[in-house]
Copies of this chain bind each other. A is one copy, B any other.
């Protein structure tokens, strides 16, 4: 049987002070004499008292909770993101209410639920919201930061890896190393991430005189990268380099090339990814890729969030953080290069 909960009144009685004093004793910056605070704490520990965060939230009108909405939790890049976010947030003494945006589920639909819990702020990862919803949030003063997605013209901040820039670097790298027939395996078509990577890659290719290249549709999964590669390589004039919109697809591509097709990578085919997940550096793969600067992205997101937390009126900002190209052994290097 749930024994009746210990409240600040019980502590007050035992300590011989008023309930207000108990409350103050648990507020670090409140004016309470050292002696009384000690008395209160003594009584509190004796009773096993802990202030009730729910009651506190009701009266302070903030919960100290940050909502994190996340899609693709199992996609190799995101556990790291979640890990870092929760760590940092916990260090700041904040709680995390986690929402898993199931595949195909509209984030707009789950947001009302999140808001019922009066989260102080919201981080949305690898998913987007409509600009209508962004407006709703802006109206009631709940800061939202998009992580790795952005919505143009919407009333909310976003932090992304500079995907256009990264993809351009990839185009340059491939061309500089003598590749002639590049291909692109896309991620989910309507994600800003994919759009930007595709655009950066394509733009740069065009600027350097390549006017056509293969395009296969993937969906950010290992299997989709694997399958797309099979389709690509049975073309009459197969590509000599494949840029996959993320690392997991690139791993799938590599395995398809080597194990299903019997090709040598990088001698017969170069493969390049995007993210730099741990497996990218494993000897079986040694994948050339663009590293997403996760830590810096997290920092930027949290900065933006904190800023809006104490001033909800600051203008939404979009921060693009460039990532370096990590050269490993999945890409052929031109002889002229060292």
State whether A136 and B48 are in contact (beta carbons under 8 Å apart), knowing that A2-B141, A255-B284 are contacts in the complex: yes
Q: Are B222 and A278 in contact (CB under 8 A)?
A: yes
Return chain B residues, CB-CB under 8 Å to A99: 86, 90, 95-96
Per the 8 Å Cβ criterion, residues 249-287 of A in contact with B are 251-252, 254-255, 258-260, 278-279, 282-285
A2 to B51 CA separation, bound complex (whole angstroms): 27
One of B52, B87, B110 near A100 (C-beta < 8 A): B87
Per the 8 Å Cβ criterion, residues 218-248 of A in contact with B are 222
CB of A30 within 8 A of chain B? no
Expressed in whole angstroms, the minimum distance between the Cβ of A155 and any Cβ of chain B is: 14
Return chain B residues, CB-CB under 8 Å to A55: 58
Q: Are B53 and A116 in contact (CB under 8 A)?
A: yes
State whether A54 and B63 are in contact (beta carbons under 8 Å apart), knowing that A100-B87, A283-B258 are contacts in the complex: yes
Q: Are B90 and A100 in contact (CB under 8 A)?
A: yes
Expressed in whole angstroms, the minimum distance between the Cβ of A276 and any Cβ of chain B is: 14
Expressed in whole angstroms, the minimum distance between the Cβ of A137 and any Cβ of chain B is: 11
Q: Are B255 and A116 in contact (CB under 8 A)?
A: no
Expressed in whole angstroms, the minimum distance between the Cβ of A291 and any Cβ of chain B is: 16
CB of A296 within 8 A of chain B? no
Q: Are B117 and A100 in contact (CB under 8 A)?
A: no
Return chain B residues, CB-CB under 8 Å to A48: 136
A83 to B75 CA separation, bound complex (whole angstroms): 10
CB of A79 within 8 A of chain B? yes
Q: Which of A63, A73, A278 has the most CB of B within 10 A?
A: A73
CB of A327 within 8 A of chain B? no
Return chain B residues, CB-CB under 8 Å to A3: 139-141
Q: Are A80 and B87 in contact (CB under 8 A)?
A: no
One of B54, B98, B222, B282 near A255 (C-beta < 8 A): B282
Q: Are B53 and A117 in contact (CB under 8 A)?
A: yes
Return chain B residues, CB-CB under 8 Å to A283: 255, 258-260
A48 to B3 CA separation, bound complex (whole angstroms): 38
Return chain B residues, CB-CB under 8 Å to A95: 97, 99, 113, 117
Q: What are 16 A-B interface contacts by the 8 Å CB criterion?
A: A3-B139, A48-B136, A50-B116, A51-B116, A54-B54, A54-B58, A54-B118, A73-B82, A73-B83, A87-B100, A90-B110, A95-B99, A97-B97, A254-B284, A259-B284, A260-B283
The 5 closest A-B pairs by CB, nearest first: A2-B141, A259-B283, A86-B100, A53-B116, A284-B284
With A86-B100, A95-B97, A96-B99 given, can you name 16 additional A-B contacts, CB distance below 8 Å?
A1-B141, A1-B313, A2-B141, A50-B116, A54-B118, A55-B58, A65-B97, A90-B102, A95-B113, A96-B98, A252-B282, A255-B283, A258-B284, A260-B283, A284-B284, A284-B285
